Amino acid sequence: MPSEFEIIRRYFSRPAPSALLGVGDDAALVQPAAGRELAVSTDLLLEGRHFAAGAAPRALGHKALAVNLSDMAAMGAAPRWATLALALPSADEAWLAAFAEGFYALAARFGVDLVGGDTTRGPLTLCVTILGELPAGTALRRDGARPGDDVWVSGELGGAAYALEHAQDAAAAKRLHEPEPRVALGERLRGLAGAAIDVSDGFAQDLGHILERSGVGAVVRYADLPKFRIADAALEQRCVLAGGDDYELLFTAPPAARAAIEALAAPLGLALSRVGSIQAGAPRLRLLDAQGRAMQHAPGFDHFA
Ligand code: ADP
Ligand code: MG
């Protein structure tokens, strides 16, 4: 079995040209461009909680980074550098090779360099910290929604949650295991969107975070939500409103930005749907059915509920 240092050298020491100093010292050194802010975010994936025992290592490498890239997208930041903290039950080289392949393949697509991390023995745990850059003062924060703004969502909702119950559905499984972070959209939304969040815990709950932080309410038409195709109406509602792990962007923008936002869809190859509006008042989501009646909606995912 390779030692800790062999693991790092063999699997996690590819060159990091965008860093002043990458893997191998006590800390990495990075330099954001002049006038840019650093956006920093961490996401932890735990076996048995975020993914099943025996999950495919290549997809895990992808997802561990993807969920962090999604946080950069939701801030409108360009991802640049990542660190990777790993607890591994054993030094399984086939597993490590596939995991590293999935991680580096996605990192290369988004121009991210792995610059450091930590490796230890323990229950399988994957923790990535990501650093991104954006022009000072332009971040898409959760507190930027204003009454009169439109509410928008990218892609389709519900596919990842559907995959948990229908593992044989290949399109849904792809949504769950290999989500595509909406980084290009996030960057294009700087200067257009007021607030943004990525849908990781379910549409209703994640929109709720924007409403709380912005001190506003929202009306959303269920019929207008972009939905992964799910035949069963009750299951569809649960997956679309409360299903996590979709990693689409949910954002608000003034009506004056409609044309500019619609113009992003074709070049990005990504559907952008206007699903409701922000209103003055208590931070509550009013969800309307096709007849305009209020709909009940289940809460989203909460690790401690
Ligand atoms: P230290 O004892 O100073 O924390 P380590 O022996 O843990 O150093 O790590 C040695 C080097 O390898 C450091 O540069 C660290 O950032 C890097 N490193 C450790 N584990 C990983 C990993 N899983 N992925 C990327 N870099 C790693
Ligand atoms: Mg260490």
Average pLDDT over residues 62-78: 98
Global pTM value = 0.96
Ligand 2 ion: residues within 5 Å (CB): 118
What spacing in Å lies between the alpha carbon of 225 and ligand 1's midpoint? 44
- 180-212 pLDDT per residue, tens: 999 999 999 999 999 999 999 999 999 999 999
Ligand 1 contact, 65 CB (< 6 A): no
Within 13 Å of residue 253, how many CA atoms lie on the same side as its CB? 25
pLDDT of residue 5: 94
What spacing in Å lies between the alpha carbon of 118 and ligand 1's midpoint? 5
- 100-142 pLDDT per residue, tens: 999 999 999 999 999 999 999 999 999 999 999 999 999 999 9
What spacing in Å lies between the alpha carbon of 48 and ligand 1's midpoint? 25
Secondary structure class of 245 (helix, strand, coil): coil
pLDDT of residue 298: 67
- The distance of Cα 168 from the centroid of its chain, to the nearest Å, equals 24
Helices (H), the chain: 4-11, 57-75, 93-109, 159-165, 170-177, 183-188, 203-214, 233-242, 258-268
pLDDT above 90 covers what percent of the chain? 95
Q: Two tokens at 163?
A: 């995959």
pLDDT of residue 54: 95
Query: Model confidence at 305, in pLDDT bands (50, 70, 90)?
Result: low
Instruction: Tell whether the model's pLDDT for residue 261 goes beyond 80.
Output: yes
Mutate to test the pocket of ligand 1, among 8, 88, 114 (most ligand atoms within 8 A of CB): 8
What spacing in Å lies between the alpha carbon of 84 and ligand 2's midpoint? 11
Q: Whose CA is nearest to atom 7 of ligand 1?
A: 118
Looking at the CA of residue 25, tell me the nearest atom of ligand 1: 14
Burial class (CB in 10 A: 0-12, 13-18, 19+), 113: buried
Give the C-alpha separation, 43 to 186, whole Å.
18
Give the C-alpha separation, 113 to 38, whole Å.
15
Give the C-alpha separation, 112 to 117, whole Å.
14
